Structure 1
């Protein structure tokens, strides 16, 4: 899940992406914590795919360097999660609930993700050597369970959102049919349809991303056991998630 920031339509820096200068856009993207984090995520899982595919023999120096790089990036990414749990606290505070089901799903989603980000701070401190490493295993297991639970709630919320979008789209289609029957123009309704389709596409991408991340969390909970925990599958899921989140963050900045 990701929190959305408000956009100021009067700000020239937030013009349409087609008109926006690429380097200015890139600067704005990399100025965000999530922007740098996703670049690191792509680098890490692309490296993991190379290592898992056995393209490079383990005996050559490049293999050892890539393995060291992947491990270092993994620890570095945890530093970007410092204080990130606050966004989940604020998301819960600002949420408007329509039903008990939505309340429960929101508590699971934001609560699970918030606990995950909170515990990850201590995982980073343990891997950095500030906290005794004997606590690392327990912290990682708590983190993995919290992350998995959070994704279950997040997927549930997004499926509800997709149903609402489908209902809105059906209503607009009815309006278009009525307008056509009367011989009226329906340019505004057609614009709404395009926006709803784009919104639905991005929401579906978010569900795919959550499924990929959830699969990796499940593998962590199972301690890498089972077919679903195969290194090449996990690496591919991580890269897919990274590319989707990079695409979403690029469009939002």
Structure 2
């Protein structure tokens, strides 16, 4: 439909249509759009929090008691702020589950596990925020955090499974395009359209692979919460680094999608 509009537009209309694109490419306009989104601000807070955690875990400020205490307070405050940003976010998982179209029982299972787990996680996080902010008795926080951690972990299992399936489909599409391009080159036919499609498919594959890596990092943090920080993989520096990796990838994904 957009292509048809573009083809029917006159030269004056074409000039108008290019101006928004130029503004979209402007860094400050892009940044404004990014910060207007809940996820945009949330991911910047996530980077701030895990940067603080990495500094605290590295013991760089161990001798500076005052600055160390302030950084811990900042990290705790940012963590609480992020929970406030998740108010009502479980609705997007409910809608995602409602709008899902399934071709097999495996897809039904993966969707329920992914969206159901993540939705329950975001739903419980609201009550954890209320508990930590003082509205609900703090004694409920511990068992709520246990439910939240398990729901988050289950959600990532489903999400990773779905994305691995999607990645396989993208690779099949890439292989099919490569075969088509090879035939075109052999016949001496221009394959510019296929090259553009290949570029988009490869970008899509990269983003999907990064998304899987992000889910693995987040799943590792969920396991650490389930095990209450016990074990080598739950070491502060390991978890902080995993959190920073997840934050950078999700920030990049949100920036590109703006």
Q: Gaps spanning 5+ residues in structure 2: where?
A: 1-5, 7-15
1:43 corresponds, among 48, 69, 74, to 48
Provide TM-score, normalisation by structure 1: 0.93
Q: TM-score, normalised by structure 2?
A: 0.91
Find out whether 1:64 has 2:69 as its counterpart.
yes
Q: CA deviation at 1:20?
A: 1.1
Q: Distance in 2 between matches of 1:32 and 1:11?
A: 24
Structure 1 stretches of 4+ with a deviation exceeding 4 A read 9-14
Out of 129, 138, 141, the position equivalent to 1:136 is 141
Looking at structure 2, the residues matched to 216 and 30 of structure 1 have their Cα atoms a distance apart, in angstroms, of: 26
Q: How many aligned residue pairs are there?
A: 244
d(CA) in 1 for partners of 2:33 and 2:187? Answer: 47
The alpha carbon displacement at 1:16 in A equals 7.0
1:202 paired residue number = 207
Query: Is residue 2:159 matched to residue 1:159?
Result: no
Shift of 1:11: 7.3
For the aligned residue pairs, the C-alpha RMSD in angstroms reads 1.7
Instruction: Report what 2:34 is aligned to.
Output: 29
Any idea what the Cα deviations from partners look like across 1:90-125, whole Å, max 9, x if unmatched? 111111112111110111000000000000000000
Give the Cα–Cα distance (whole angstroms) in 1 for the partners of residues 187 and 100 of structure 2.
40
Supply the distance in 2 between the matched residues of 1:105 and 1:114 (Cα, whole angstroms).
14
Distance 1:251 1:16, change over 3 A: farther
Structure number with greater Rg is: 2
Query: What do residues 122-177 of structure 1 show as CA deviations (whole Å, max 9, x unaligned)?
Result: 00000001011111101000000000000000000000000000111111111112
- The answer to whether the aligner puts 1:111 opposite 2:100 as a matched pair is no
Listed as ranges, the matches of 1:166-181 within 5 Å are 166-181=171-186
Answer 1 or 2: which has greater helix percent. 2
Please point out which of 237, 240, 243 is paired with 1:235: 240
* Structure 1 unaligned residues grouped into runs of 5+: 1-8
